[in-house]
């Protein structure tokens, strides 16, 4: 159903936000950014990079804005959403390509709707885009603290966040993986976890994994097992927090997880 509104009405926007398109190998990305209404600290603003920007950016930005007010306000930070040229929250085909390692059909579970899995395996090209095109673009416009940068992803985006930490830990100092799809390609993320190492000169990385207690059993179990593996193998390299949010499902967990991530990032010394 479409509603007819008075032509004098204007679209609602969040103050301080801008958006533009960036191209990478003939793929368009919708970039959304919120800039704090304050002078950047001497060392530059911290920055959050959000996967699934279409779905996450507005909620995350308003949470950061709210937490930067009041008597116990937190330091403002730049928020960057990485999305797609669409008004839908999720672009299924694009996110399957951008957020995953390549998987053959026999390495995947049967699709719950009986369909073939979308084309996948473009995560390294996507991370090259962030590193070589997006991050320099942001830094050219705003004074960014290069030592306080966070990556936030949920579901397949959570898998991408974990993959980034395990294979390119130099890109960010803080990683937030919400309900990460650890099941992808027969739990291949455990392989990357086992191979993880920090090159000389890199400080300990911070990782926050959050999941809802009402998600599928295999998701909860898989993330608990991964967290145990991380603690056993990389306690000296990764400062891990794992939280199972009571009563939350795969989507509803986003709200409490976002709030906790913002607080945790601000309180973390990196």
Instruction: Give the tens place of pLDDT for each residue, 203-221.
Output: 899 999 999 999 999 999 9
* Residue among 139, 138, 126 at smallest CA distance from 168: 126
Q: Is 215 a catalytic residue?
A: yes
Rounded to whole angstroms, what are the CA distances from 191 to 167, 215, 224, 240? 11, 24, 16, 18
Rounded to whole angstroms, the Cα distance separating 18 from 111 reads: 38
Q: Does the model's pTM come out above 0.75?
A: yes
Residue with the bigger pLDDT between 129 and 199: it is: 129
- Catalytic residue, from 154, 179, 181, 215: name it: 215
State the average pLDDT for the chain.
93
Q: Is 250 a catalytic residue?
A: yes
Strand order in the sheet with 144-154: 17-24, 27-34, 78-83, 45-50, 144-154, 174-178, 205-212, 238-245
CA atoms in the 13 A half-sphere facing the CB of 38: 15
Domains in the chain (CATH in brackets) are: 17-267 (3.40.50.1820)
Instruction: Give the tens place of pLDDT for each residue, 32-74.
Output: 999 999 899 999 999 999 999 999 999 999 999 988 877 777 8
Q: Is 216 a catalytic residue?
A: no
Token pair listed for 41: 């600290």
Distance, C-alpha 110 to centroid of its chain: 26
**Other CB atoms within 10 A of residue 189 CB:** 24
């Amino acid at each position: 159903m479409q509603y007819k509104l008075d032509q004098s009405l204007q679209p609602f926007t969040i103050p301080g936000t801008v958006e533009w398109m960036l191209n990478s190998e003939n793929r368009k990305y919708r970039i959304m950014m919120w800039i704090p209404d304050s002078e950047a600290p001497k060392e530059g603003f911290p920055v959050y990079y959000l996967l699934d920007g279409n779905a996450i950016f507005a909620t995350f930005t308003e949470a950061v804005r709210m937490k930067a007010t009041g008597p116990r306000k937190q330091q403002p930070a730049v928020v960057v959403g990485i999305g797609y040229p669409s008004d839908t929250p999720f672009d299924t085909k694009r996110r399957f390509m951008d957020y995953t390692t390549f998987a053959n059909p026999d390495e995947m579970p049967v699709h719950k709707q009986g369909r073939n899995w979308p084309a996948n395996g473009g995560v390294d090209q996507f991370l090259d885009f962030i590193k070589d095109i997006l991050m320099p673009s942001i830094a050219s416009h705003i004074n960014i603290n290069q030592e306080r940068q966070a990556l936030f992803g949920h579901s397949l985006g959570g898998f991408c966040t974990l993959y980034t930490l395990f294979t390119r830990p130099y890109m960010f100092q803080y990683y937030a993986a919400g309900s990460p799809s650890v099941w992808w390609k027969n739990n291949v993320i455990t392989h990357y976890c086992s191979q993880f190492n920090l090159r000389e000169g890199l400080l300990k990385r911070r990782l926050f994994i959050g999941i809802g207690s009402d998600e599928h059993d295999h998701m909860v179990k898989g993330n608990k097992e991964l967290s145990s593996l991380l603690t056993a193998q990389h306690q000296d390299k990764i400062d891990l927090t794992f939280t199972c949010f009571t009563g939350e499902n795969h989507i509803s967990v986003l709200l409490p997880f976002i709030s906790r991530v913002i607080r945790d990032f601000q309180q973390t010394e990196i």
